[in-house]
A and B are shown apart, each in its own frame.
Chain A
Amino acid sequence: MTIVNETYDVIIVGGGGAGQRAALETASSGANVALISKVFPTRSHTVSAQGGINAALGNIDKGDSWECHMFDTIRGSDYLGDQDSIEYMCSQASRTVIELEHMGMPFSRNEDGTIYQRAFGGQTLDFGKGGQAHRTCPAADRTGHAMLHTLFQQNVKAKTRFFHEWFAIDLLKSGPQKVSGILAMCLETGELRVFHAKAVVLATGGAGRIYASTTNAYSCTGDGLGMVYRAGFPLQDMEMWQFHPTGVAGVGCLITEGARGEGGILRNSEGERYMERYAPIQKDLACRDVVSRSSALEMKAGRGCGPRGDYMHLDLTHLPQETLQERLPGISDLARTFANVDVSKEPIPVVPTCHYMMGGIPTNKYGQVLTQDKLGKDTFVEGLYAAGECACVSVHGANRLGANSLLEIVVFGRAVGHHINDHIGDIAHEKNAEFDASLEKALGRVGFWRQGGGGESIDEVIQDMKKIMQEDFGVFRDGKNMQEGLAKLDVVRRRLAHASISDKSLAFNTRLVSAFELENMMAVAYTTAMAALARKESRGAHSRVDFPDRDDKNWHKHSLAFEGDRASTRAVNMQPNHVDPFPLQEREH
């Protein structure tokens, strides 16, 4: 088969908020840009975000500041977040929200016409001393939808070149630390194409589908992480997975934290507001790791709701009708559709559910992808950038604050574009023997699935992987179970090397896509398991029964995982540029 080659200045992989914002920024400089997405851009998972985007606009709390937002983010991260990146994100937050508003995003409003701001978890005034902050800017409870469509509309206006429903298979390297393009496949026709680029931006989103129970879309399979891993570059902090306290029990779909921000209360089988016991100050709006652990402990203590005691109640029945209609219309619909619950009359059955990957592809605050030399020193991968959930920049550290993810994708999508615009002139297209070798390797992977046969179905492998992750790498972890889990996962990983698909059609072969996605998920799952077993402490979302305390002396550092089961660490950045560093403290709830 002859393969068409196309050449661009910039190739962006992923059509969610980060990819689309990066496309707008790079295209504005006149660069030749193409955005490749496995789904039509408005179907990216950004669309499912509900609650809002954080910025200290001060529309409700006059004294709020981005420095307070920075403090909350660092504290929420359990001090694993990089302070230079967090400083950058929080200092850019207000201009980012204003920019989105000017683009046409339909934010909810206050009586005076300014953007409405609601309470969200882990957000305080006056550096933790001034009580609950109102910092989260919503478009009702459909903020992700409103944002994603707004960004897509701007890309329509800018006439961005989209390759939608193309699947990116692998990075193509022209040197040990240089990326010069990608191999991608058109879903409709099965055509393979080489995209040469001076800069490749990965904005491929999360990977929650490695767990059996998740709020994530089917499309969240860690494709960018798999590509980076196979290219020999590290993944960072993969043990850090956020379990959202309020996924609808048995279904997984998300009920926004905004429901508690608007006054909703979590209750156990005795009707008790149990968060008052676990987090006397922040109560239901404590950080997500804290609330999820509390719910898990309540269920363990026999105070779960329902016949099997395996969920908690989210009570909104006391909220005014106007609040439900104006601020929470989407989740009222979801609860009716998926749980058959009228939220004005009955509580919603909820359970901690895998929601967000804090780890990912390590980058600096410009979105440049980092790797490590033999001496453990940070070095750049030339021509490769990452932004959004697939990246670990790291603004979320060990636990993300609600409504910081929509902020991250826009801020760093823009930052990546900015850096590329400034440096694209220094980068050359490169096609050499190493490039050809990496193309051969990628084509080999395609051939494996297209030509292979007679092996085990990929379904069995997927289900076994999800089950292991769910049982051994969930809200609470302990060394013995994880050791066994890792061994089981290793067996499953080996089975994948002998699996096959029977669908050999070239036309829109969703089975082939699932096979590629499974390979990517397996890289994510395995690095998660390795890193979780290695980190012998409890920090943020990583909670070990056998090491219940935070251990700053040995573990205040990022973990790195490479292909070939090699592990390393990186220092946490404690050097913001414009404010004093925030020193390590115990978290109070």
Chain B
Amino acid sequence: MSNTGRIIHITVYRFDPDQDSKPYPATYEVDASHCRGVMLLDALEYIKSHLDETLSFRRSCNEGVCGSDGMNINGKNGLACITPLASLPDKVTLRSLPSFPIIRDLIVDMTRFYKQYERADPYLQNTGDAPAKERLQSPEERSKLDGLYECILCACCTSACPSYWWNPDKFMGPAALLWVARFLADSRDNYENERLEALQDAFSLYRCRSVMNCADVCPKGLNPAKAIADVRHRMLDEST
């Protein structure tokens, strides 16, 4: 859809803790051709510059690698900076990431999400002595990290996961589990047993019900559900 002269009505669920008891919708009329770029983030920047400077959202890289501007766009989580206006209908509704506490407007509190990430022990662990040069890794071994290491911690997946909605303190959620899978898959890491041991309870890993929302919304095209299934297979291999 061309953006020339196109009017888009963008409804944002607004909330300022200083003034509001709950979020309320506010609608802005944006002429897409007046925006500086072709993405949804450009329309939000336009609103902030020209219509209402109190509208609050996070953003930084503007190219889908920093993971700041995750939000719910017409019911589906995504990054505003790589969502083309042309891919959206003339009426757009924006909410903050579902199930996360709202700080203000589209800005959510991600503390719990980061805590779950830390539970993944997201760092390489190797008990051996480090060699003087690089640890060798064949291209085939390295390729096992593809589809895992590219996560940008935007939380689009975890916020879309029903299992996480119900147990955000106990179920680690797809993003954190993707990081578990990333280190399990690394030929240079030899903490597989400890990593799997930490997932033995009924919630951390096993609350995944393969709903697949995570893979459906990931703006980087990653598949956390598949990564979780792979971790489960490793658990089975361990126990047999």
Residues of A within 8 A of B (CB): 39-40, 42-45, 47-48, 57, 97-98, 101-104, 106-115, 139, 142, 145-146, 149, 153-154, 156-157, 188, 217-219, 251-254, 330, 334, 337-338, 457, 459, 501-503, 505-511
B57 within 8 A of A: yes
Query: A101 — nearest CB in chain B belongs to which residue?
Result: B134
| In the complex, per-residue mask of B58-74: 1 if CB is within 8 Å of any chain A CB, else 0 | 11111111111000000
What would be 24 A-B contacts, judged by CB atoms less than 8 Å apart? A40-B110, A42-B67, A43-B67, A43-B68, A47-B65, A57-B134, A98-B133, A106-B142, A106-B186, A109-B139, A113-B136, A113-B138, A146-B149, A157-B123, A217-B60, A218-B59, A218-B61, A219-B60, A459-B50, A505-B18, A505-B54, A506-B18, A510-B57, A510-B58
The contact of B66 among A48, A109, A139, by CB within 8 Å, is A48
Check A145–B150 contact: CB distance below 8 A.
yes
Chain B residues near A334: list those with CB within 8 A: 63
Chain A residues near B141: list those with CB within 8 A: 109
The contact of B134 among A98, A507, A511, by CB within 8 Å, is A98
In whole angstroms, what is the CA distance A39 to B59 when docked? 9
Given contacts A39-B68, A505-B104, contact A115 B134 (CB under 8 A): yes
B82 within 8 A of A: yes
Given contacts A113-B138, A503-B53, contact A142 B150 (CB under 8 A): yes
Check A102–B130 contact: CB distance below 8 A.
yes
Check B137–A113 contact: CB distance below 8 A.
yes
| In the complex, per-residue mask of B90-127: 1 if CB is within 8 Å of any chain A CB, else 0 | 00000000000001100101100010011001111000
Check B149–A149 contact: CB distance below 8 A.
yes
Check A507–B17 contact: CB distance below 8 A.
yes
Query: B121 — nearest CB in chain A belongs to which residue?
Result: A157
In whole angstroms, what is the CA distance A40 to B121 when docked? 18
> Which of B48, B59, B137 is the most central at the interface, judged by chain A CB atoms within 10 Å of its CB?
B137
Query: B130 — nearest CB in chain A belongs to which residue?
Result: A102
Check B61–A104 contact: CB distance below 8 A.
no
- Lowest 10 CB-CB distances: which A-B pairs, in order? A104-B124, A113-B136, A153-B123, A43-B66, A253-B63, A101-B134, A508-B104, A503-B54, A217-B61, A157-B123
B56 within 8 A of A: yes
- Shortest B124–chain A CB gap in Å is 3
B37 within 8 A of A: yes
- Shortest B69–chain A CB gap in Å is 10
Check B153–A508 contact: CB distance below 8 A.
no
Chain B residues near A139: list those with CB within 8 A: 149
- Shortest B113–chain A CB gap in Å is 10
Check A102–B135 contact: CB distance below 8 A.
yes
Check B60–A45 contact: CB distance below 8 A.
yes
- Shortest B145–chain A CB gap in Å is 5
- Shortest A529–chain B CB gap in Å is 23
Chain A residues near B84: list those with CB within 8 A: 337
B212 within 8 A of A: no
In whole angstroms, what is the CA distance A84 to B84 when docked? 48
Chain A residues near B132: list those with CB within 8 A: 98
Given contacts A107-B134, A502-B53, A505-B16, contact A156 B122 (CB under 8 A): yes
Q: A104-B189, A113-B136 are in contact. List 5 more A-B contacts (CB 8 A).
A: A40-B153, A42-B152, A47-B152, A108-B139, A507-B104
The binding surface of chain B is classed by DSSP as loop
In whole angstroms, what is the CA distance A511 to B107 when docked? 14
- Shortest A145–chain B CB gap in Å is 6
Chain B residues near A149: list those with CB within 8 A: 149
- Shortest A293–chain B CB gap in Å is 25
Chain B residues near A153: list those with CB within 8 A: 122-124
- Shortest B158–chain A CB gap in Å is 15
In whole angstroms, what is the CA distance A234 to B56 when docked? 35
Check A501–B137 contact: CB distance below 8 A.
no
Check A108–B142 contact: CB distance below 8 A.
yes
Check B139–A104 contact: CB distance below 8 A.
no
Chain B residues near A142: list those with CB within 8 A: 65, 150
The contact of B186 among A44, A57, A104, A112, by CB within 8 Å, is A104
Residues of B within 8 A of A (CB): 16-19, 37, 48-50, 53-54, 56-68, 82, 84, 103-104, 107, 109-110, 114, 117-118, 121-124, 130, 132-139, 141-142, 145, 149-150, 152-153, 183, 186, 188-189
In whole angstroms, what is the CA distance A219 to B117 when docked? 24
> Which of A107, A109, A509 is the most central at the interface, judged by chain B CB atoms within 10 Å of its CB?
A109
In whole angstroms, what is the CA distance A45 to B82 when docked? 17
Check A43–B149 contact: CB distance below 8 A.
no
Chain A residues near B65: list those with CB within 8 A: 47-48, 142, 145, 330
Given contacts A145-B152, A156-B123, contact A101 B49 (CB under 8 A): no
Chain B residues near A108: list those with CB within 8 A: 139, 142
Chain A residues near B189: list those with CB within 8 A: 104
- Shortest A407–chain B CB gap in Å is 16
In whole angstroms, what is the CA distance A156 to B117 when docked? 10
Chain B residues near A157: list those with CB within 8 A: 121, 123
In whole angstroms, what is the CA distance A501 to B56 when docked? 14
Query: B122 — nearest CB in chain A belongs to which residue?
Result: A153
In whole angstroms, what is the CA distance A502 to B103 when docked? 19
- Shortest A166–chain B CB gap in Å is 14
Given contacts A98-B133, A102-B130, A218-B60, contact A457 B123 (CB under 8 A): no
In whole angstroms, what is the CA distance A154 to B122 when docked? 9
Check B67–A154 contact: CB distance below 8 A.
no
The contact of A337 among B61, B82, B109, by CB within 8 Å, is B82
Check B107–A111 contact: CB distance below 8 A.
no
- Shortest B179–chain A CB gap in Å is 9
Chain A residues near B150: list those with CB within 8 A: 142, 145
Chain B residues near A459: list those with CB within 8 A: 49-50, 53
- Shortest B126–chain A CB gap in Å is 8
- Shortest A127–chain B CB gap in Å is 25
Check A47–B118 contact: CB distance below 8 A.
no
In whole angstroms, what is the CA distance A157 to B130 when docked? 17
- Shortest B73–chain A CB gap in Å is 15
Chain A residues near B53: list those with CB within 8 A: 457, 459, 501-503, 511
- Shortest B132–chain A CB gap in Å is 8
In whole angstroms, what is the CA distance A479 to B65 when docked? 39
Chain B residues near A43: list those with CB within 8 A: 60-61, 66-68
- Shortest A113–chain B CB gap in Å is 3
Chain B residues near A254: list those with CB within 8 A: 63
- Shortest A184–chain B CB gap in Å is 18
- Shortest B214–chain A CB gap in Å is 19
In whole angstroms, what is the CA distance A334 to B219 when docked? 12
Chain B residues near A338: list those with CB within 8 A: 63
> Which of B50, B57, B63, B141 is the most central at the interface, judged by chain A CB atoms within 10 Å of its CB?
B63
In whole angstroms, what is the CA distance A98 to B136 when docked? 11
Check B145–A106 contact: CB distance below 8 A.
yes
In whole angstroms, what is the CA distance A156 to B122 when docked? 8
Given contacts A217-B66, A218-B59, A505-B54, contact A109 B123 (CB under 8 A): no
In whole angstroms, what is the CA distance A110 to B152 when docked? 26
Chain A residues near B117: list those with CB within 8 A: 156
Check A101–B139 contact: CB distance below 8 A.
no
Given contacts A156-B118, A511-B53, contact A218 B67 (CB under 8 A): no
Query: B118 — nearest CB in chain A belongs to which residue?
Result: A156
In whole angstroms, what is the CA distance A506 to B152 when docked? 28
Given contacts A43-B68, A507-B16, contact A111 B61 (CB under 8 A): no
Given contacts A39-B60, A43-B61, contact A508 B54 (CB under 8 A): no
Check B66–A253 contact: CB distance below 8 A.
no
